[in-house]
Amino acid sequence: MRVLRLPAIHHDTNLVVIEGSIGNLLIDAGTSWYQGLQVERIKGVLGEEANLDRILLTSKRYPCSGGAKHLSESFENCEVGIHADGQAALETGDFFTTWANRFDSDMPPIATHAVEDGDVFALGDGQVESLHLPGHSADGMGYWIPEQKMMITGILLPRADRPTRWDLPSGCLPDVISSLKKIRALHPQSLIPMQGPAIKGERHVKEVLNMHIDFFKSCIENNGQVPVSVPRPAQTALWYTPHPPWPLEENESL
């Protein structure tokens, strides 16, 4: 089984292509801004004649889901899966809870199928397991690849150096902490975050997860507020940008 990260473009999430001996998956679809280019990128790694069996979304938020309709139609109307709490927003094209309105974009409505915690997607020479990870939003999902001890986190962990927001529709601060602890308990050796490079090495992964967990614990202790040193997020930002900056790469001095 082959896992390929297609690096995020602008506001888009990382797209993750998983190629198995009996099927192919795509995790997240990006915005609708670059959807034509994303089709070309996917075909570039799978081959022009290859197809997708399904698209799995980590969240209803527009940077994850905006391109889902076009990508599905480009690959023989393949199934799009999302947690049940995100289905209504996608099927009605709700541009408020998806945050599409913040990007001055429409949300293309699309039929979806519910993905539940613990679902297994068999690909012949490996499998992908779904993990419900609420916190940023109630519909948050992660996808665990046990053979590679790899977790695809979605917006729950935007980047190694950027903690997620919980103050958007259906977000919950205590759930963020619980979901990050759920990932840590799996002892992953690599994480693919929403954007930015993969986080590799069990020690580095644990260091990053602990840094994020400690940040959110401090927010709870601060009556649910981020520290005053953290700037107000931009209109489109799904994360906080700490000041001083957190390290993006592993700290070699540890």
pTM: 0.96
Q: Measure the CA–CA gap between 145 and 207, rounded to whole angstroms.
A: 20
Query: Would you state the pLDDT for residue 250?
Result: 81
Query: Would you state the pLDDT for residue 251?
Result: 61
| CA 98 to centroid of chain Cα atoms | 14
Each domain of the chain, given as residue ranges in start order, spans: 2-157+189-201
For the segment(s) 2-157+189-201, the CATH number from 3.50.30.30, 1.10.20.60, 1.10.10.10, 3.60.15.10 is 3.60.15.10
Per-residue pLDDT 10s for the chain (254 aa) are: 999 999 999 999 999 999 999 999 999 999 999 999 999 999 999 999 989 999 999 999 999 999 999 999 999 999 999 999 999 999 999 999 999 999 999 999 999 999 999 999 999 999 999 999 999 999 999 999 999 999 999 999 999 999 999 999 999 999 999 999 999 999 999 999 999 999 999 999 999 999 999 999 999 999 999 999 999 999 899 999 999 999 988 864 33
Query: Would you state the pLDDT for residue 249?
Result: 83
